[in-house]
Amino acid sequence: MSAERKTLEERAQMSDLERLRHSCAHIMATAILRIWPDAQFAYGPPVESGFYYDFDLKHRITPDDFEKIEAEMKKIAKENQKFEKRVLSREEAIALAESGRLGGLSERPGNASQFKLDLIAKIPEGEEISCYQNGEFLDLCAGPHVNYTSKCKNVKLMSIASAYYMGDESKPQLQRLYGTAFPSSEELAKHLEQLEEAKKRDHRKLGRELQLFAIDEKVGQGLILWLPKGAVIRQELQNFIGEELRKQGYQQVFTPHIGKLELYKTSGHFPYYKESQFSPVVENDELAKAADCGCSCAEVMARLEGVSKKLREEINSRTGQDTITADRVMPEEDLMDGFLLKPMNCPHHIRIYAQSPKSYRDLPVRLAEFGTVYRWEQSGELGGLTRVRGFTQDDAHLFCTEDQVEQEIMGCLSLVKTVLTTLGMSDYRVRVGLRDPDSNKYTALPKAGTRPRLLPQGASTLGVPFTEEPGEAAFYGPKIDFVVKDVIGREWQLGTVQVDYNNPVRFDLTYIGADNAAHRPVMIHRAPFGSMERFTGVLIEHFAGHFPVWLAPEQVRVLTVSEKSDAFANEVLNELKAKGVRVVLDQSSDKIGAKIRNAQIDKIPYMLVIGEKEANSGAVAVRHSKKGDLGVKALGEFVTGLQEEIAERKL
Catalytic center residues:
346, 375, 393, 395, 397, 479, 525
CA 484 centroid distance within chain = 12
Q: Are 306 and 329 in contact (CB under 8 A)?
A: yes
Beta strands in 326-407 (DSSP E): 339-341, 365-374, 390-400
In the DSSP assignment, the letter for residue 172 is: P
Q: Which helix (H) or strand (E) holds 174?
A: strand 173-181
Q: Collect all residues with Cβ–Cβ distance below 8 Å to 458 and sequence separation of at least 6.
A: 406, 409, 410, 413, 480, 497
Beta strands in 267-389 (DSSP E): 339-341, 365-374
Long-range contacts of 409-413 (CB under 8 A, 24+ apart): 409/454, 409/455, 409/458, 409/497, 409/499, 409/524, 410/458, 410/461, 411/248, 412/497, 412/524, 412/526, 413/458, 413/459, 413/461, 413/462, 413/480, 413/497
Q: Residue 605 corresponds to which amino acid?
A: P
Q: Collect all residues with Cβ–Cβ distance below 8 Å to 248 and sequence separation of at least 6.
A: 366, 411, 415
Q: Collect all residues with Cβ–Cβ distance below 8 Å to 125 and sequence separation of at least 6.
A: none
Beta strands in 486-605 (DSSP E): 491-500, 511-512, 518-519, 522-527, 556-560, 583-586
Q: Rounded to an integer, what distance in angstroms lies between the CA atom of residue 272 and that of residue 376?
A: 14
Strand partners, 405: none
The helix/strand/coil state of 64 is helix
What is the rounded radius of gyration, in angstroms, for the C-alpha atoms of the chain? Answer: 30
Q: Are 41 and 139 in contact (CB under 8 A)?
A: yes
Q: Rounded to an integer, what distance in angstroms lies between the CA atom of residue 231 and that of residue 92?
A: 64
Alpha helices in 463-531 (DSSP H): 503-506
